[in-house]
C-alpha cells in the first residue's frame, strides 16, 4: 500500500500514531501536577523500563499536557557525559525568564535568576561544562557555595518560589536519568525533598532504565519513599491491538485477525517493535486488508530494520570483551542470568568479569534486577546477539 500514507512511526522518541495503554499513567501525572500547583503533598514520578517501551514519548506527551494546562516545564535529557547542573541551568534560566514577564512573579523570578548566576559561577570550577547566559548579578550567599547539594537546593527553592508567586507549578521532565552520576542524583533528590517539605510547586517527572531504581536508593536511602516509581512495560494484548488497528483504520484500511495475532506474538507487545512490524506489514500489503501473508513477507525486512536502527546502535559502542559478555548471556537465553553462569560460559572467574559487567551497566546495556542477576535493558536482545555473532566460535 501507499508508503506515503503509512501511519507507523518507529524511532527513538518518535511519537506513535496512537499512544496505546498509557492513559492511567498520564492521569497519574496530571493529578500529581495539579496537586503540586495547589501546594498539596505530592511525590515526584520516575518511570522505569527497558529501551523501546515508550518512556520518551510519554514524557513528551505529559509535557504537552502540562503546558496546555498552563504549567511551566523544563525538559532535559541526560547524556552519558554531561553534568546535571550543566543540563539544568540553561533550561531553568528560560523558565525564569518566562516567569519574569508575569507581574506577580517578576521579583521572585529575578531572584531565581540571581540564584542561577551564583550557582553557575560557583559550580563552574567543578562542572566546567556549565554554559549559561547570566541576566543578573549573583546575590552574595545565594546558591553560591560551590557545593552542588547545597546550591541546587537553594536554586530549586528560589525557582519554586517564583512558580508559586505566578500561581503555577514548574515540572522538570528529565529523560535518561540513569546516566546522571550518583552524587548529582543525590543532590537532585535532596533539593526536591526540601522543596516538597516547603510545599513549593516544583516536581520531577523522570524516566530511565530499570537500574535507576537502585541508583536512587544508593544515592539517598529515603529516595524510594519520596518517589513514585511506576514500571513501564510492554503493552497488554488488548492495547497492542489498539496500537496497530487504530492507526490503520484511520487510513481506511483493515487488518485481519491472524495478522494482528502474529504481530502481537512476535513483538511481545513492545511498542518499538509494534511500530516497526506495523510499518513493514503495511508496506508489504498490496491492498486492504493487511493479511498474515503480508506480515510473513514483511518479517525479514522488519528484523533487518530493527537490527540496523534499534539494536545495532548500542552494539557498535561496545568493546570486544563487552560483546562477548553479552553473547555469553544470549547463549543462556533471554535472562535474567546469574553472574556465575555467565562467567562459566566465558570460562572466566566472576570477579575478573566484574569491571566488564560494570561498564555494561554504565553504558545502559544491562542491569541487575536482583543482586547477582544480570538482564538485558533491550527487549529481545538475546536474539539479536545470536544473529550478529552466530555460530560457536564467538568465544575465541
Ligand X SMILES: Nc1ncnc2c1ncn2[C@@H]1O[C@H](COP(=O)(O)OP(=O)(O)O)[C@@H](O)[C@H]1O
> Is residue 142 near ligand X by the rule CB under 6 A?
no
Q: Is 71 helix (H, G, I), strand (E, B) or coil?
A: coil
> Is residue 56 near Mg ion by the rule CB under 5 A?
yes
> Is residue 21 near ligand X by the rule CB under 6 A?
yes
Q: Which is nearer to Mg ion, 154 or 232 (CB)?
A: 232
Q: Residue 68, CB half-sphere, CA atoms under 13 Å: how many?
A: 7
Rounded CA-CA distance 253/290 in Å is 8
> Is residue 6 near Mg ion by the rule CB under 5 A?
no
> Is residue 52 near ligand X by the rule CB under 6 A?
yes
> Is residue 9 near ligand X by the rule CB under 6 A?
yes
170 near 74, Cβ under 8 Å? Answer: yes
Closest residue by Cα to residue 143 from 160, 129, 157, 133: 157
Q: Which is nearer to ligand X, 113 or 360 (CB)?
A: 360
Residue 43: φ, ψ to 5°: -90, 145
Find the binder of ligand X among 33, 57, 188, 264 (CB under 6 A).
Answer: 57
Q: Which is nearer to Mg ion, 148 or 235 (CB)?
A: 235
Interacting span for ligand X (CB under 6 A) from 54-62, 126-134, 146-154, 382-390? 54-62
> Is residue 374 near Mg ion by the rule CB under 5 A?
no
> Is residue 178 near Mg ion by the rule CB under 5 A?
no
Q: Quote the least distance from Cβ 13 to Mg ion, whole Å.
A: 6
> Is residue 179 near ligand X by the rule CB under 6 A?
no
> Is residue 377 near ligand X by the rule CB under 6 A?
no
Closest-by-Cβ residue to ligand X is: 54
Scan residues 231-250 and list those touching ligand X (CB under 6 A): 243
* Total chain residues near ligand X (CB under 6 A): 26
Contact partner at residue 85 from ligand X, Mg ion, none, CB < 5 to 8 Å by partner kind = none
Scan residues 266-295 and list those touching ligand X (CB under 6 A): 271-272, 274-275
Rounded CA-CA distance 273/161 in Å is 43
Contact partner at residue 313 from ligand X, Mg ion, none, CB < 5 to 8 Å by partner kind = none
Contact partner at residue 201 from ligand X, Mg ion, none, CB < 5 to 8 Å by partner kind = none
Q: Quote the least distance from Cβ 179 to Mg ion, whole Å.
A: 11
Contact partner at residue 325 from ligand X, Mg ion, none, CB < 5 to 8 Å by partner kind = none
Q: Which is nearer to ligand X, 49 or 206 (CB)?
A: 49
Closest residue by Cα to residue 79 from 366, 362, 379: 362
Q: Residue 52, CB half-sphere, CA atoms under 13 Å: how many?
A: 26
Contact partner at residue 210 from ligand X, Mg ion, none, CB < 5 to 8 Å by partner kind = none
> Is residue 202 near ligand X by the rule CB under 6 A?
no
Say which residues have a Cβ less than 8 Å from residue 85's Cβ, sequence separation at least 6: 119, 120, 123, 127, 130, 148, 152, 184
C-alpha separations of 379 from 2, 50, 97, 375 in Å: 30, 7, 42, 10
Contact partner at residue 274 from Mg ion, ligand X, none, CB < 5 to 8 Å by partner kind = ligand X
C-alpha separations of 217 from 227, 364, 368 in Å: 11, 18, 14
Residue 389, judged by CB atoms within 10 A of its CB (0-12, 13-18, 19+), counts as middle
Contact partner at residue 214 from ligand X, Mg ion, none, CB < 5 to 8 Å by partner kind = none
Q: Is 270 helix (H, G, I), strand (E, B) or coil?
A: coil
Q: Which is nearer to Mg ion, 55 or 314 (CB)?
A: 55
Rounded CA-CA distance 209/49 in Å is 5
Residues constituting the chain: 396
C-alpha separations of 244 from 239, 256, 275, 293 in Å: 9, 11, 8, 16
User: What order of strands is seen across the sheet that includes strand 72-77?
Assistant: 72-77, 170-175, 202-208, 44-48, 227-228
Q: Quote the least distance from Cβ 312 to ligand X, whole Å.
A: 15
Rounded CA-CA distance 55/45 in Å is 12
> Is residue 377 near Mg ion by the rule CB under 5 A?
no
Interacting span for Mg ion (CB under 5 A) from 50-58, 182-190, 240-248, 279-287? 50-58
Q: Rule CB under 5 A: which residues touch Mg ion?
A: 55-56
Q: Rule CB under 6 A: which residues touch ligand X?
A: 9-16, 18-22, 49, 51-57, 243, 271-272, 274-275
Amino acid at each position: 500500500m501507499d508508503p506515503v500514507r503509512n501511519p507507523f512511526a518507529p524511532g527513538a522518541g518518535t511519537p506513535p500514531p496512537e499512544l496505546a495503554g498509557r492513559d492511567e499513567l498520564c492521569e497519574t501525572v496530571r493529578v500529581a501536577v495539579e496537586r503540586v500547583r495547589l501546594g498539596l503533598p505530592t511525590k515526584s514520578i520516575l518511570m522505569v523500563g527497558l529501551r523501546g517501551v515508550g518512556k520518551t514519548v510519554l514524557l513528551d506527551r505529559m509535557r504537552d499536557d502540562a503546558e496546555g494546562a498552563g504549567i511551566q516545564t523544563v525538559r532535559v535529557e541526560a547524556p552519558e557525559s554531561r553534568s546535571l547542573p550543566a543540563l539544568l541551568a540553561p533550561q531553568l534560566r528560560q523558565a525564569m525568564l518566562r516567569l519574569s514577564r508575569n507581574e506577580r512573579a517578576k521579583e521572585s523570578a529575578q531572584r531565581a535568576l540571581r540564584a542561577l548566576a551564583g550557582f553557575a559561577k560557583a559550580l563552574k570550577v567543578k562542572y566546567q561544562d556549565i554554559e549559561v547566559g547570566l541576566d543578573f548579578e549573583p546575590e552574595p550567599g545565594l546558591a553560591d557555595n560551590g557545593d552542588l547539594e547545597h546550591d541546587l537546593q537553594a536554586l530549586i527553592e528560589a525557582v519554586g518560589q517564583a512558580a508559586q508567586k505566578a500561581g503555577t507549578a514548574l515540572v522538570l521532565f528529565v529523560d535518561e536519568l540513569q546516566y546522571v552520576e550518583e552524587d548529582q542524583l543525590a543532590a537532585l533528590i535532596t533539593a526536591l525533598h526540601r522543596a516538597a517539605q516547603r510545599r513549593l510547586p516544583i516536581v520531577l517527572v523522570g524516566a530511565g532504565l530499570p537500574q535507576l531504581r537502585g541508583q536512587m536508593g544508593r544515592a539517598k536511602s529515603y529516595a524510594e519513599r519520596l518517589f513514585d516509581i511506576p514500571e513501564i512495560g510492554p503493552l497488554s494484548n488488548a492495547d497492542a491491538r489498539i496500537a496497530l488497528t487504530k492507526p490503520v483504520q484511520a487510513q481506511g484500511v483493515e487488518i485481519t485477525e491472524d495478522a494482528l495475532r502474529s504481530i502481537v506474538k512476535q513483538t511481545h507487545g513492545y511498542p518499538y517493535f509494534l511500530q516497526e512490524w506495523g510499518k513493514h506489514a503495511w508496506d508489504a500489503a498490496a491492498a486492504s486488508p493487511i493479511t498474515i501473508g503480508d506480515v510473513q513477507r514483511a518479517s525479514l525486512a522488519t528484523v533487518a530494520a530493527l537490527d540496523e536502527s534499534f539494536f545495532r546502535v548500542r552494539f557498535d559502542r561496545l568493546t570486544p570483551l563487552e560483546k562477548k559478555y553479552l553473547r555469553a548471556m544470549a547463549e543462556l537465553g533471554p535472562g535474567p542470568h546469574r553472574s556465575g553462569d555467565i562467567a562459566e560460559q566465558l570460562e572466566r572467574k566472576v570477579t575478573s568479569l566484574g569491571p566488564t559487567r560494570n561498564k555494561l551497566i554504565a553504558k545502559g546495556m544491562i542491569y541487575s534486577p536482583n543482586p547477582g542477576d544480570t538482564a538485558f535493558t533491550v527487549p529481545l536482545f538475546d536474539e539479536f546477539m545470536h544473529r550478529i555473532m552466530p555460530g560457536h566460535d564467538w568465544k575465541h
